């Protein structure tokens, strides 16, 4: 039955069961829901205000930050960032590129600014399994921002805390793509010098069609963005219009609010981090104790993602990989196949977003142990 299916999809994916039940109930609720309300109606504005307030409370976001809900997904923000933070095409921004998504963010930004790259490949292997040290020499002092991705969804590399910039570069705001790890660990907003943090909604906080962007207010203001910046992406325009400059993704905003209520109910971000650690640890333990039957590409345990766990079987054995996929599917586990256009080889990937429980992660771990025993 669909209720029994465990979804390890890298996104879009399932939300926590209780949130999905609330979404289902909202379809049959009497009266208007956000599916049928004008975005300018007082009822919807109440939903929007409550979503923002709960989000700020559970993620401890101080009042010097604005919450924006726009369209365009992560890729929209890849363009919106230079268009908002760089006034001229010649303005410099520094990009730490240590995986698929930071590379894509940098490539898009290059259209709108002078994007300089800090190469985040492992210097020994030339592969994306690493995060570089951020040195003064590497960061152009003129940079309008320093960009990084806190969880590389495809490569399985995560920063469990944001890095500090060198003292002489502390004036430069940090920009964070937290699309696949937002809500799963605390953020020290001012302490870590976060200028902008964004997350597309399709993993931990909701459904595609909505992007959440947290912007520090001193980066807003008339005339700061590039004159080319489209209104729908303009942080100042959207902030001044209270997220109603154009029609926002009303229902998706309500869903983010339901997710934030869930997070508050379940002990907040600190408890969620502990769950993420527990869920990923049980699987990494199986991989590390499998005598090489399973392997993960990220050797540095400090950088292993709690969200997305790539692993292969006997070095990428095709027959065993297919067998694993069929048997896990028959056992009710879906989303483990890595379908990306980015060529990460023969890796399977288990994604452990908010919709996956500790119990479900243990079910996969047990399945992997049994599969290894039967196929060693």
| Those residues with Cβ within 8 angstroms of residue 111's Cβ, 6 or more apart along the chain or in another chain | 79, 82
Give, rounded to a whole angstrom, the gap between the first and last alpha carbons of the chain: 31
Q: Which two tokens stand for residue 92?
A: 């410099």
The whole-angstrom separation of Cα 345 and Cα 95 is 25
The one segment of 125-133, 173-181, 184-192, 248-256 that binds ligand PMP by CB under 6 A: 173-181
Three-state secondary structure call for residue 50: helix
Tell me if 179 contacts ligand PMP by CB under 6 A: yes
Q: Which two tokens stand for residue 6?
A: 């465990």
Cis previous bond, 12, omega within 30: yes
Active site residue 101: yes
Instruction: Pick the binder of ligand PMP from 153, 238, 305, 354 (CB under 6 A).
Output: 153
Instruction: Pick the binder of ligand PMP from 39, 50, 56, 75 (CB under 6 A).
Output: 75
* Cα angle 73-13-242, degrees, rounded to a multiple of 5: 35
Count the residues in the chain: 376
The one segment of 69-77, 113-121, 127-135, 315-323 that binds ligand PMP by CB under 6 A: 69-77
Tell me if 254 contacts ligand PMP by CB under 6 A: no
Catalytic residue among 91, 144, 177, 181: 177
Active site residue 262: no
Closest to ligand PMP by CB, 172 or 199: 199
CB of 321 vs ligand PMP, minimal distance in Å: 22
Active site residue 188: no
Tell me if 252 contacts ligand PMP by CB under 6 A: no
Judged by CB under 6 A, the number of residues near ligand PMP is 12
CB burial of 155-183 (b: ≥16 within 10 Å; e: otherwise) equals: bbbbbbebbebeeebeebbbbbbbbbbbb
**Which residue ranges make up the site for ligand PMP (CB under 6 A)?**
11, 73-75, 101, 149, 153, 177, 179-180, 200, 202
Query: Binding site for L-glutamate: what residues are annotated?
Result: 40
């Amino acid at each position: 039955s669909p209720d029994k299916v465990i979804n390890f999809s890298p996104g879009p994916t399932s939300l926590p069961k209780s949130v999905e039940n609330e979404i289902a109930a909202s379809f049959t609720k009497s009266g208007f829901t956000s599916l049928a309300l004008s975005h300018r109606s007082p009822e919807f504005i109440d939903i929007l205000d409550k979503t923002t307030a709960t989000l700020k409370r559970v993620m401890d976001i101080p009042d010097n930050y604005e919450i924006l809900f726009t369209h365009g997904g992560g890729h929209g923000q890849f363009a919106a960032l230079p268009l908002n933070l760089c006034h001229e095409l010649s303005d410099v921004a520094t990009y730490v590129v240590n995986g698929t998504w930071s590379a894509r963010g940098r490539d898009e930004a290059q259209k709108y600014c002078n994007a300089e790259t800090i190469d985040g490949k492992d210097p020994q292997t030339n592969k994306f399994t690493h995060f570089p040290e951020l040195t003064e020499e590497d960061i152009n002092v003129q940079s309008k921002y320093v960009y990084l991705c806190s969880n590389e969804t495809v490569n399985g590399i995560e920063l469990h805390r944001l890095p500090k910039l060198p003292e002489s570069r502390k004036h430069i705001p940090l920009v964070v793509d937290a699309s696949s790890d937002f809500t799963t660990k605390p953020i020290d907003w001012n302490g870590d010098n976060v200028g902008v943090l964004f997350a597309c909604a399709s993993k931990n906080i909701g459904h595609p069609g909505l992007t959440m962007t947290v912007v520090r207010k001193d980066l807003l203001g008339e005339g700061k963005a590039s004159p080319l910046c489209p209104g729908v992406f303009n942080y100042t325009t959207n902030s001044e219009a209270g997220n109603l400059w154009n029609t926002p993704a009303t229902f998706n905003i309500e869903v983010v609010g339901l997710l934030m209520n869930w997070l508050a109910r379940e002990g907040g971000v600190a408890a969620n981090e502990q769950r993420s650690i527990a869920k990923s640890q049980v699987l990494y333990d199986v991989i590390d104790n499998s005598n090489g039957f399973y392997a993960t590409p990220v050797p540095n345990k400090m950088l292993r993602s709690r969200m997305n766990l790539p692993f292969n079987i006997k070095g990428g054995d095709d027959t065993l990989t297919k067998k694993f996929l069929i048997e896990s599917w028959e056992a009710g586990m879906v989303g483990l196949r890595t379908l990306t256009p980015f060529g990460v080889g023969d890796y399977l990937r288990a994604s452990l977003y908010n919709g996956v429980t500790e119990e479900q992660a243990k079910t996969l771990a047990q399945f992997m142990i049994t599969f290894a025993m039967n196929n060693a």
